[in-house]
Structure 1
Amino acid sequence: MATAAFLAFPGYGHIIPTLPVVAELTGRGDTVHYFALDYFRPAVEAAGAVFHSYGDLPLEGLDGDGDPLAQINAFLRLGRWVLEHRLEDVRALGPDYILYDILSAWGGHMATILGLPAVCSVPSMLVNRRMAYALPLRVAGVFAARLTHPRQLVRNRTLARSIRRAYGVDQPHDFRVFADPGPLNIVYSSRMFQPYAASLPEDRFVFVGPTATARPGFHFSFDWLDGRPLVYVSLGTVFNDRPDFFRACVEAFGDQDVQLVIAAGRPAESLGLGEIPPNVRVEAFVPQIELLRHASLFVTHGGTNSVYESLLCGVPMVVVPQSADQPWVARRVARLGAGRVLADRRFGARTLRRAAAAVMSRPSYAEAAARVGASLREAGGAARAADEIQRRMRRHAHERPLTVAAPRREDKDVH
Structure 2
Amino acid sequence: MGIEPTDEVRAPASPWLNLVVSHEAIEAPRTNLGPSTFYIGPCFSTRRGTDQEGFPFDKLRADAFKVYVSLGTVFNDKPEVFRTILRGLDVPGVQVVVSGGAAYPALASGPLPSNVLLFRRVPQVELLPKVDLVIGHGGNNTTNETLAAGRPLLVVPVGGEQHDNARRVEYLGAGLFLPMGSLSEDGVRRAVTRLREEPGFRTRAEALRQHLADTEGTGTASALIALLARRRAPVRLPEGAPRTLTREGLASLLASLENTSAGATSRSA
TM-score for the superposition, normalised by structure 2: 0.78
Aligned partner of 2:9 in structure 1 is 177
Contact 1:318 1:342 in 2 (8 A): yes
- Read off the aligned partner of 2:92 and give its amino acid letter: Q
Give 1:273 deviation, angstroms: 6.5
Aligned partner of 1:84 in structure 2 is none
Q: Which of 151, 168, 171 is residue 335 of structure 1 equivalent to?
A: 171
Counterparts of 2:103 and 2:51, CA distance in 1: 17
Counterparts of 2:109 and 2:78, CA distance in 1: 11
Give 1:377 deviation, angstroms: 2.5
Counterparts of 1:272 and 1:278, CA distance in 2: 13
Counterparts of 1:372 and 1:279, CA distance in 2: 30
Aligned partner of 2:21 in structure 1 is 188
Counterparts of 1:267 and 1:351, CA distance in 2: 22
Structure 2 residue 43 is matched with structure 1 residue 207: no
Give 1:267 deviation, angstroms: 6.6
- Read off the aligned partner of 1:180 and give its amino acid letter: P
Give 1:190 deviation, angstroms: 0.5
Instruction: Give the count of matched residue pairs.
Output: 229
Give 1:275 deviation, angstroms: 1.8
Pairing of 1:69-218 with structure 2 (within 5 A): 72-73=1-2, 76=3, 160=4, 171-172=6-7, 177=9, 180-183=12-15, 184-201=17-34, 203-213=35-45, 214-215=47-48, 216-218=50-52
Aligned partner of 2:61 in structure 1 is 226
Give 1:272 deviation, angstroms: 6.6
- Read off the aligned partner of 1:377 and give its amino acid letter: A
Cα deviation per residue 1:288-335 (whole Å; 9 max; x = unaligned)?
Answer: 122111111100000011011101111000001111111111111110
Counterparts of 1:189 and 1:279, CA distance in 2: 35
Aligned partner of 1:292 in structure 2 is 128
Contact 2:69 2:136 in 1 (8 A): yes
Q: Which of 177, 181, 200 is residue 364 of structure 1 equivalent to?
A: 200
**What's the RMSD between the two structures over aligned residues?**
2.2
**Structure 1 residues 359 and 385, CA, compared in 2 at 3 Å: closer, same or farther?**
same
Cα deviation per residue 1:97-118 (whole Å; 9 max; x = unaligned)?
Answer: xxxxxxxxxxxxxxxxxxxxxx
Contact 2:69 2:99 in 1 (8 A): yes
Give 1:274 deviation, angstroms: 2.9
Contact 2:87 2:113 in 1 (8 A): no
- Read off the aligned partner of 1:258 and give its amino acid letter: V
- Read off the aligned partner of 2:21 and give its amino acid letter: Y
Counterparts of 2:79 and 2:163, CA distance in 1: 21
- Read off the aligned partner of 1:207 and give its amino acid letter: Y
Give 1:397 deviation, angstroms: 6.0
- Read off the aligned partner of 2:124 and give its amino acid letter: Q
Contact 1:247 1:273 in 2 (8 A): no
**Structure 1 residues 193 and 340, CA, compared in 2 at 3 Å: closer, same or farther?**
same
Report the 3-state secondary structure (helix = DSSP H, G, I; strand = E; otherwise coil) of the residue aligned with 1:285: coil
Give 1:178 deviation, angstroms: 8.2
Higher relative contact order (CA 8 A, sep 6+): 2
Report the 3-state secondary structure (helix = DSSP H, G, I; strand = E; otherwise coil) of the residue aligned with 2:232: helix
Aligned partner of 1:85 in structure 2 is none
